[in-house]
Structure 1
């Protein structure tokens, strides 16, 4: 049974560190490190990031992502090889003959809808072809106005690429996609892509436990946004939501809750959940993040009860709903109710099966449920088998 704690123990011993030494380097308690290594408590994303940095290894070395065996059970991940080649080409990416600009925009919207509806495989399969076509359109652009609008599309495509790479666990590719997004943002007509890039960069930095640098970037991004239309409101709100989680994982609960308050005020201006920029910003997303902040800030009881009581709208983005129930499951486990944790994981599975099956926290929660239960239930074994985890 391999979980994050087991991998931490292996890497710690390879580094020649005692548990107390690693706990001090990671700025966590010795008792928590022991519990995680023994599988008695799930490793939170913040804990994993801090320990990975202390051990000077990639976080994926501890989580085991990407989960190749599970991915391949559903067949080859179409589009990944082409996307990897495109990102490796960088500024020398080759374009192909494009359709009309309207058709390119419509395909970009369709890919964003696939991302929103937990159809990440379909989105990934279509994305590299579209990106090649947009590059072709850029090469054929005959006026500055056409070029700026085409750069907007390249920003949107690389934002989708970053999102998809993270979902499938390819964090290195996500960073490459983000690098290209930030460069294209300097040429785009839409100034909000520059702010979006900074916010996304902050989220990547959080993954590597660079929370101070991440919060600085979030602040810089928010400072550059002006206006009060729907687009600026969404990007500003997205910045506050990302800032809330970064602050909570950095043990700054007051700052995290301030970000939630700002986001909640902004969400009142949005009718439902916005589809712009792939941020899925809206009131429901704010309340999801509010529960997540309490979990990350150290109040799993509040996160579990408020999260279970939260009524999500029918049109919520499916990955958002799935992530919410994954967090609620971890919260229930932390307060000693593994049965409710498994129930919440099943809610996540029903909402967003593709995302749930490949999320590291789901696997950690499953291991924690198995450790907490005296008898292995058929429902737990069935769920673990579906995810591809041997308990």
Structure 2
């Protein structure tokens, strides 16, 4: 729903830009949000309305949740949840597409790549809004294509399903997430890409995390590693490395510190052979392994949490890393800090996570749990903590 001209949204944008982010001029905001400078000026003056997409882009540029800018305070997560039935309907007919027109493959390729970037940037509202139609169109294109041309379309379906799954999983629609993962597993053999197959094995672990079947999840990842060929190219090395990273984390959740250390060592060795980057939709490299080392330490708990603090003292994730991964680092770090009695530091880490990826942070169950704990520990603390707890719906 578009916000009409003359509403208070322009004043809110001006406030966050000039007071909360005092070094951000209108030009810088326009550049960061990919919105024309004249548009920013008119919105702030209340001379023109703003669409949900533009509001979301501005909020992301300011590092805040879009709900902070809306006059009606309609929660962004409600809009995402409202879009989930359309996503479910789109995949229900994956094998029974209609006969409407489809765009050329190069345009579909661009649309899928854009959705993948939204996933890495934790822009879930955009994905929820765009993916139902894109998934329907991709299924239509796949079934209409001759057999010899289906491989690329199958690969595009896998990548698009993964973007949709990020929304379903992060917003608690676990059954929908499981269905999307099964569709990824259905389509990936047709794509004939071993690297893409490894990425599907990586994502499949979400099912085991959700069910807390950590030992079974570790077994599934180790089977995927056994089935993979010896890596030679950078994408192959990264694909194997991401499986080891994920295996280390789920081994930690299973309290198997030996397996966790083994897989983390393997991931480090592979990361040393490539540059940090996004390979087949997953960030991998030395920095990503460091972030996963924090996750492993938190997963193992107890005395291991100290290792997460040691990593954070010496290193912080670069802004070049995907927003979702950087916010995840601070969410994990906050938990280690809270366990170590560093309540103030934990709250600072949670706020850092929110600045980086508001939607990801708001929907993360650990954020709600830790915000609730901080609220209990610091009953007389500032209004900021209360506002944060209310923002993420902490009890």
TM-score normalised according to structure 1 size:
0.77
* TM-aligned CA deviation for residue 297 of structure 1: 1.1
Equivalent residues of 2:369, 2:394 under 8 A apart: no
Q: CA offset at residue 121 of structure 1?
A: 0.9
Once residues 76 and 316 of structure 1 are traced to their aligned partners in structure 2, the CA distance between those partners, rounded to angstroms, is 25
What's the counterpart of residue 249 of structure 1? 253
| Partner in structure 2 of residue 323 of structure 1 | 328
Secondary structure of 1:331's counterpart equals helix
Q: Distance in 1 between matches of 2:393 and 2:379?
A: 21
Deviates more, 1:319-328 or 1:194-203: 194-203
Return the alpha-carbon distance in structure 1 between the equivalents of residues 116 and 139 of structure 2. Answer: 19
For 1:369 and 1:95, how far apart are their aligned partners in 2? 54
When structure 1 is superposed on structure 2, of 91-100 and 264-273 the one drifting more is 91-100
Question: How far did residue 209 of structure 1 move?
Answer: 2.0
Question: SS in structure 1 opposite 2:130?
Answer: helix
1:195 counterpart residue number:
198
Is residue 152 of structure 1 aligned with residue 179 of structure 2?
A: no
8 Å CA contact 2:76–2:125 kept in 1: the answer is no
- In the TM superposition, residue 187 of structure 1 has moved relative to its aligned partner by 1.6
Report matched runs for 1:260-339 at 5 Å.
260-274=264-278, 276-298=279-301, 299-339=304-344
RMSD: 2.0
* Deviation of the 1:176 alpha carbon: 0.4
- Cα distance, 1:255–1:91 mapped onto 2, change above 3 Å: same
Relative to 1, partners in 2 of residues 1:387 and 1:308: Cα closer, same or farther, differing over 3 Å?
Answer: farther
Inter-partner Cα distance in structure 2 for 1:159 and 1:198? 11
Match of 2:381 among 376, 380, 385: 376
Q: CA deviation at 1:167?
A: 1.6
RCO higher in structure (CA 8 A, sep ≥6): 1
Alignment deviations for residues 235-275 of structure 1 (CA, whole Å, 9 cap, x no partner): 2111111101110011111211111111112122322222x
- For structure 2, the 5+ residue unaligned runs are 1-72
Find out whether 1:123 has 2:121 as its counterpart: no
Counterpart residue number, 2:93: 89
Deviation at 1:140, TM superposition (A): 2.4
Q: Secondary structure at the match of 2:132?
A: helix
Of 106-115 and 73-82, deviating more is 73-82
1:161 aligns with 2:159: no
Would you say 1:259 and 2:263 are equivalent positions? yes
Note if 1:218 corresponds to 2:221. yes
For residues 93 and 101 of structure 2, the distance between their equivalents in structure 1, rounded to whole angstroms, comes to: 18
Which residue matches 1:176?
Answer: 179
The counterpart of 2:353, out of the listed 348, 354, 374, is: 348
Cα distance change, pair 79–104 in 1 and its aligned pair in 2 (3 A): farther
Q: C-alpha displacement at 1:188, in angstroms?
A: 1.6
**Displacement, 1:386?**
2.0
Q: Give the stretch that moved more between structures: 364-373 or 346-355.
A: 364-373
Q: Is the 8 A contact 1:79 1:124 kept in 2?
A: yes
Count of residue correspondences: 320
